[in-house]
Chain A
Amino acid sequence: MKKSNSTQRKQIGIVWVTVCSVISLLFAFPFYILLSASFKTVQELNQVPPTYFPKGFSIESFQRLGKIGNGIWIHVTNSIILASITVVGTVVISTLAGWGFARYPFRGRGILFLLLLAAIMIPFQPLLIPLFLVLKTIGLSSSLLGVGLIYVAFQMPFAVFVMRNAFLDVPTALEDAGRVDGASGLKLFTSVLFPLVRPGIITVGMFAFFSSWNEYLAAMVLLQRQDSYPLPVVLQTAIVTASTGVDWSLLQAGVLATMLPCLMLFFVLQRFYISGIVAGAVKD
C-alpha cells in the first residue's frame, strides 16, 4: 500500500513538473524574445522573415539607444530622480505616520484611519485634470519634483496601512524595555523598532519604486518637455518619430534597459515584496 502510494506520488510529480515547465516556457518566451532582439544586429532585427535564434551578437542597439531623446543618460537620470523622490518620500512619511497610527492615540485617529482606508481606492487616472492644473498654478509643471510628490501622495494610503500593521506587530513590551533602557524618540526607533519593521519598509519602498519607475500616463501628461521625460515616456519616441516606421532596435534595447532594474530588484528582494502583497491584501 505504502509503496504504490509513493510511486503514484512520483508519477503525479512528473506530470506536475511537465505542466509547470510548459507554462514556464510561455512566461519566459517574451523575455527571451526581448533579450534576443536586443542583442541581434540591427540589420538582423529588421530582417523579414525574422530569425528565431540570433545569428550574431551585437551591442549596436544599445549604442544607438545612447542617442534616444535628449541622450539616454538624461532620461535614466530623470527616472532615478523620480524613483528616489517617491521611494524616500513614501518611506519616511509612511513610517512616521504608521508609527503614530499604531502607537499614539490622538484625537480623531479612528476617523483619520478610516479616511486613509477610503483613500486607498482613489485612483489617479480620473484626477489627472486637477493635478495638471494644480502643478501649473504652483509653478511645478514639467518638474520632476512635482510629479514625484504626486507619486508619493498616491502611494501614501497603502504605505501607511502597511507600516501601521508593521508597528502593530511589534510587541509593546519590547518598546517599553527600550524606554526603560533610556532610549527615546529617534534612538528608540533606530535601535529597537527599525530592525523589526524593516520588512515593512522594504515592502513599501519596493512598491514605491516599481510604481514610479514604470508609471507612464501621469508622467506623459504632466511632464511636457522632452528633457524631463523618464524612460517609459521617452521610449515612445522610438515609435512616433521614426520616419521608417517603428525603430525596433531602439525600442527593444530601451525596454530591456527599463525592465532590468525592476527584475533585478525583484529577484533579490522578492521575499519581502511577496509577503508584503500577501499581508497587505489577505491577512489584514
Chain B
Amino acid sequence: MPVLKVIQISFYNWPLLGDPTWTGIDNYVEMFQDQSFMKSVGFSAVYAAILVPTLLLIGFLLALLLNEPRRGVGFFRTLFFAPVVVGFASASYLWIYLVNSRVGILDQALVDVGLTKEPVVWLANSRLALISVLSMVVWKSVGFGTLLLLAGLQSIPGDIIEAARIDRANWLQMLREIKLPMMRRPIALTLVLSAVGALLSFEQFYLLTGGRANTTPVVMAIFNISFGRFQLGTGAAMSVVLLIAVVIISGVQLLILKDQSTGDE
C-alpha cells in the first residue's frame, strides 16, 4: 500500500499543504539534475563498497575464532555480539564523544602514544569522517555477520572436516577447499544484508557527521528534500529509486533463501 502511494506521489508536485498537481516525470528529471542528490548516490555507493567487504572480512575472521571449541568462547561471542543490540542513534551519540578532538579519549591517546602531535579533528575532513563512521558501524554491526557466518561454519558436517584432516589438509586448504565453498549461502546473506544496511544508513551520518565534509548518504538527501524543503514529490521520486535498488539487492537474497529451502529437500 505505501509502496503504491509513494509511486503515486512521485508523479505529482506535492506540497505539504495545499493540493497536489500532476507533473508526470518532472520529479524524476529534477532528481537527476539535483547535484546534491546525485552526489549522495555516489557517496552511498562508495560507503557501501568499503563497508560491505570490511564487514564480511572481519566478520569471517571473528567467526573462525569463535568456531574453536575452547573455554571462554561463549564469553567472547556474547561480547562481540553485544553492540548489535544497541541502536545506531545511541552508538552515534557515543562516537561523537569518542572522536571529539577536545574532550575525546581517542585523540588524547593518539597524542600520548606519539602518533600525532595535535589532536585530530575527525569529523571535519571527509576521509577522516568516513573512517569515524566506518569504525562505529563495524563495532556496532560486525557481530551480526559473524553470527551468520559462525552458524554456517557450524553447519558443515563434522565428518567432512574429519575426512579432510585424515587426508592431511592444512589449515589454508581446509579453508579454501571446504569451508568457503560450503559457506556460499551465509556469505551471500551477509553481503546482501550489509549492502542493504549500507544503502539505508542514516543515523550514523545525520547524528555523527551531520552530513558535513561531503558525507550525505541517499536517505539523508531524501530526508532533507522531503522534510527540510517539503518537496514531497521530488523526495518520493528519490525514494522510488532507493526502493528499487533495495528490492533488487534483496531479491538476490530471496533467491538464495528459496534455492536453499528447495536444495535441502
Give the B-binding residues of A (Cβ under 8 A): 13, 16-17, 19-20, 23-24, 26-28, 30-31, 33-34, 37, 45-50, 52, 117-118, 120-123, 125-134, 210, 213-217, 221, 232-233, 235-236, 238-239, 246, 248, 251-252, 254-255, 258-259, 262-263, 265-267, 270, 273-274, 277-278, 281-284
Given contacts A216-B203, A246-B96, contact A48 B102 (CB under 8 A): yes
Task: Please name all residues of chain B whose beta carbon is closer than 8 Å to the beta carbon of A46 when the two chains form the complex.
Answer: 103
Secondary structure call for the A interface: helix
Inter-chain contact B139/A48, CB cutoff 8 Å? no
Give the A-binding residues of B (Cβ under 8 A): 2-3, 5-6, 9, 62, 65, 68, 70, 72, 76, 78-83, 85-91, 93-98, 100, 102-105, 108-109, 111, 139, 144, 147-148, 151-152, 155, 185-186, 189, 193, 196, 200, 202-203, 206-207, 219, 222-223, 226-227, 232, 235-236, 239-240, 242-243, 246-247, 250-251, 253-254, 257, 261
Inter-chain contact B226/A129, CB cutoff 8 Å? yes
What residue of chain A has the Cβ atom nearest to residue B75's Cβ?
A24
**Chain B proximity of A39: nearest CB distance (Å):** 14
Task: Please name all residues of chain A whose beta carbon is closer than 8 Å to the beta carbon of B200 when the two chains form the complex.
Answer: 123, 125
The contact sample of 24 A-B pairs, CB cut-off 8 A, is A17-B70, A23-B76, A33-B98, A47-B103, A48-B102, A50-B108, A118-B254, A121-B246, A128-B222, A129-B226, A130-B6, A133-B232, A134-B5, A216-B203, A216-B207, A221-B223, A239-B96, A246-B97, A252-B97, A258-B90, A262-B86, A273-B85, A278-B147, A278-B148
What residue of chain B has the Cβ atom nearest to residue A17's Cβ?
B72
Q: How far is the CA of A47 from the CA of B103 in the complex (A)?
A: 7
Given contacts A30-B139, A258-B87, contact A20 B76 (CB under 8 A): yes
Q: Closest 5 CB pairs between A and B?
A: A214-B87, A121-B250, A130-B5, A126-B239, A232-B89
Inter-chain contact A126/B79, CB cutoff 8 Å? no
Select which of A19, A47, A274 is within 8 A of B65 by beta carbon.
A19
What residue of chain A has the Cβ atom nearest to residue B186's Cβ?
A282
Q: How far is the CA of A127 from the CA of B235 in the complex (A)?
A: 10
Select which of B70, B104, B219, B247 is within 8 A of A122 by beta carbon.
B247
**Chain A proximity of B257: nearest CB distance (Å):** 7
**Chain B proximity of A170: nearest CB distance (Å):** 19
Q: How far is the CA of A118 from the CA of B200 in the complex (A)?
A: 18
**Chain A proximity of B48: nearest CB distance (Å):** 14
**Chain B proximity of A235: nearest CB distance (Å):** 6
Task: Please name all residues of chain B whose beta carbon is closer than 8 Å to the beta carbon of A121 when the two chains form the complex.
Answer: 196, 246-247, 250-251, 253-254
Given contacts A46-B103, A232-B90, contact A123 B246 (CB under 8 A): yes
Q: How far is the CA of A277 from the CA of B77 in the complex (A)?
A: 14
Select which of A31, A120, A214 is within 8 A of B89 by beta carbon.
A214
Inter-chain contact B207/A239, CB cutoff 8 Å? yes
Task: Please name all residues of chain B whose beta carbon is closer than 8 Å to the beta carbon of A254 when the two chains form the complex.
Answer: 93
Inter-chain contact B78/A270, CB cutoff 8 Å? yes
What residue of chain B has the Cβ atom nearest to residue A258's Cβ?
B90
Inter-chain contact A20/B2, CB cutoff 8 Å? no
Task: Please name all residues of chain A whose beta carbon is closer than 8 Å to the beta carbon of B70 when the two chains form the complex.
Answer: 13, 16-17
Inter-chain contact A24/B87, CB cutoff 8 Å? no
Select which of B151, B196, B246 is within 8 A of A278 by beta carbon.
B151
Q: How far is the CA of A238 from the CA of B68 in the complex (A)?
A: 44
**Chain A proximity of B173: nearest CB distance (Å):** 18
What residue of chain B has the Cβ atom nearest to residue A260's Cβ?
B86
Select which of A37, A127, A216, A235 is within 8 A of B3 by beta carbon.
A127
Task: Please name all residues of chain B whose beta carbon is closer than 8 Å to the beta carbon of A125 when the two chains form the complex.
Answer: 200, 202, 219, 222, 239, 242
Inter-chain contact B243/A274, CB cutoff 8 Å? no
Task: Please name all residues of chain A whose beta carbon is closer than 8 Å to the beta carbon of B91 when the two chains form the complex.
Answer: 30
Task: Please name all residues of chain B whose beta carbon is closer than 8 Å to the beta carbon of A265 when the two chains form the complex.
Answer: 85
Inter-chain contact B6/A129, CB cutoff 8 Å? yes
Task: Please name all residues of chain B whose beta carbon is closer than 8 Å to the beta carbon of A126 when the two chains form the complex.
Answer: 6, 222, 239-240, 242-243, 246
**Chain B proximity of A136: nearest CB distance (Å):** 9
Inter-chain contact B144/A48, CB cutoff 8 Å? no
Inter-chain contact A255/B90, CB cutoff 8 Å? yes
Inter-chain contact B5/A266, CB cutoff 8 Å? no
**Chain A proximity of B241: nearest CB distance (Å):** 8
Task: Please name all residues of chain B whose beta carbon is closer than 8 Å to the beta carbon of A131 when the two chains form the complex.
Answer: 2
Task: Please name all residues of chain A whose beta carbon is closer than 8 Å to the beta carbon of B6 when the two chains form the complex.
Answer: 126-127, 129-130
Inter-chain contact A217/B147, CB cutoff 8 Å? no
**Chain A proximity of B218: nearest CB distance (Å):** 9
